[in-house]
Amino acid sequence: MSKATPTSSNHFDVIVIGSGPGGEGAAMGLTKAGLRVAVIEKEGTVGGGCTHWGTIPSKALRHTVSRIIEFNQSPIYTGDNKQVHSTFSAILGHAQSVIGKQTRMRQGFYDRNLCSIIHGSAKFSGTHEIEVKAADGSVDKYTADKFVIATGSRPYRPKDVDFKHPRIYDSDSILSLQHDPRHVIIYGAGVIGSEYASIFRGLGIKVDLINTRDRLLSFLDNEMSDSLSYHFWNSGVLIRNDETYEKIEGTKDGVILHLQSGKKMKADCILFANGRTGNTDALNLKAVGLKADSRGQLKVNDNYGTEVEHVYAVGDVIGYPSLASAAYDQGRIVAQAMVEGQAQGRLIDHIPTGIYTIPEISSVGKTEQELTAAKVPYEVGRAQFKHLARAQIAGMDVGSLKILFHRETKEILGIHCFGERAAEIIHIGQAIFEQKGEGNTLDYFINTTFNYPTMAEAYRVAALNGLNRLF
């Protein structure tokens, strides 16, 4: 690991705090523009929460579990009643190997671009000065003309929940799960809670999913949300909607969840996955003239500049959309703004949603409820995966693709997909959806010749289905 060795002093053109996707995007853009850049990372390796506790490990876990399910549901492999069984702790090994590969690759980016990595916890000690406390307790001071805060977020931990108890976990600490539970309560049915519900249920573990809202993932198109609810119900996940905890009681060998509705639930452990907080509390922001909001987040302008002229922020620490993909783009854009004085690029208006439940959900554009509320005369085209040759070959009968389009102009207004590989399939439609004018119409999918058999062919099937509804 390289440590900053400034030629004459510990001064840099820009110091980036955090080496997640946002910090990496900013650092790479700035170093390629010829600036002297240092990245401060509190962990021993680069990559941030995305690589070590969030996106990468959870998706690696999900992949392994979905392959186990696929194997066990196939009559080809299970004809002699052989079933594959695994445990959460056992499949963590695959996740760790992926994390290692990602970390080595990302470290190589910094090394090749001569970007200094300083390992330690950072806090501001002046308007242009920062202190970094290393793992051995030593403290070094560094100065810079400008700063980028890309410290990410962490799971929200209410003060009345004892996360030191060995059976009470958040989405970070769950990756250290050593015992193999038979029954898990997941509190919070957002994206993270829903993904882990799929993972645990796929391993044959009993799952109770507590939703603090009236429906699952209410920001989705209702049909997609209902599809996930039905799929969870069909696979044995118990969902309780509109519930809030009163207290979470850790016991010797498990946990008891007391709900405000008077219900009580018992399980081997609980995963508390209800919200996230920006990592700003340890930065001593007041030294640089900044203050975070109640969720630990910073307000920024179109150039990702904060209220302090020489301090910028990107990624989860600024809130929506809180996606690794968007954070990298934000980092790239902020580098442009810092070098040129004004960002030329910007995030696209319609960022695709990718939810890695089993099966996946992905969407881009408007939902049916949004179009109805806006009184847009839309029509729907659907393709069921079970009717596609490629899906039949792969045994992927669960799922569908839905295209929403304007019934007069045939302009594509929204695309929603539920099923295996949905997060990949969506990008075919996104490419057309993002075209301007006549390039974005249903006609593209009708007039294009697709490879056969493919999952992409669902677009042609859905487009013809929608066209048949017009009169």
Strand order in the sheet with 245-250: 245-250, 255-259, 264-267
Higher pLDDT, 324 or 79: 324
User: Tell me: the pLDDT tens digits for 388-438?
Assistant: 999 999 888 899 999 999 999 999 999 999 999 999 999 999 999 999 888
pLDDT of residue 73: 82
> For residues 180 and 382, what is the distance between their CA atoms, to the nearest angstrom?
41
> For residues 424 and 416, what is the distance between their CA atoms, to the nearest angstrom?
12
Quote the strand ranges of 229-326, DSSP E. 238-240, 245-250, 255-259, 264-267, 269-272, 276-278, 311-313
**HSE of 62, CA atoms in CB hemisphere, 13 A:** 21
pLDDT of residue 9: 73
3-state secondary structure of 26: helix
Higher pLDDT, 110 or 6: 110
> For residues 420 and 397, what is the distance between their CA atoms, to the nearest angstrom?
9
pLDDT of residue 5: 43
* Least confident piece of the model among 52-66, 69-83, 91-105, 369-383: 69-83
Closest by Cα among 431, 367, 425, 432 to 396? 425
Q: Which residues are known binding-site members for FAD?
A: 41-50, 59, 151-153, 316
Kindly report the CATH class assigned to 359-467: alpha beta
pLDDT of residue 7: 45
Amino acid at 301: N
pLDDT of residue 6: 42
Higher pLDDT, 2 or 285: 285
Q: How far is CA 337 from the centre of its chain?
A: 25
> Are 300 and 147 in contact, with CB atoms under 8 Å apart?
no
* Least confident piece of the model among 13-17, 76-80, 106-110, 262-266: 76-80
Kindly report the CATH class assigned to 168-274: alpha beta
- What percent of the chain is modeled with pLDDT above 90? 89
Length of the chain: 471
* Least confident piece of the model among 83-92, 211-220, 311-320, 397-406: 83-92
Q: Which residues are known binding-site members for NAD(+)?
A: 188-195, 275
Q: Over range 298-315, report the average pLDDT.
A: 97
Kindly report the CATH class assigned to 11-154+277-340: alpha beta
Q: Over range 304-315, report the average pLDDT.
A: 97
pLDDT of residue 72: 87
pLDDT of residue 171: 96
> Are 220 and 363 in contact, with CB atoms under 8 Å apart?
yes
Helix pair 422-433, 458-467: axis angle to 10 deg: 60
Q: Which residues are known binding-site members?
A: 41-50, 59, 151-153, 188-195, 275, 316
Q: Which DSSP string corresponds to 37-97?
A: EEEEESSSSSSHHHHHTSHHHHHHHHHHHHHHHHHHH-TTTSTT-------HHHHHHHHHH
pLDDT of residue 141: 96
Output the pTM of the full model: 0.94
> Are 405 and 381 in contact, with CB atoms under 8 Å apart?
yes
Domains 11-154+277-340 and 168-274 share a fold: yes
Q: Does the pLDDT value for residue 123 go beyond 60? A: yes
Q: To which residue do tokens 């805060």 refer?
A: 149
For the chain, which residues make up each domain, given as ranges?
11-154+277-340, 168-274, 359-467
User: Tell me: the pLDDT tens digits for 70-113?
Assistant: 888 877 776 677 788 898 988 988 899 999 999 999 999 999 99
Q: Does the pLDDT value for residue 2 go beyond 70? A: no
* Least confident piece of the model among 30-44, 83-97, 176-190, 416-430: 83-97
pLDDT of residue 78: 65
Q: To which residue do tokens 């207004």 refer?
A: 413
pLDDT of residue 131: 97
Q: Does the pLDDT value for residue 4 go beyond 60? A: no
Encoding tokens for residue 138? 């030593």
> For residues 119 and 99, what is the distance between their CA atoms, to the nearest angstrom?
18
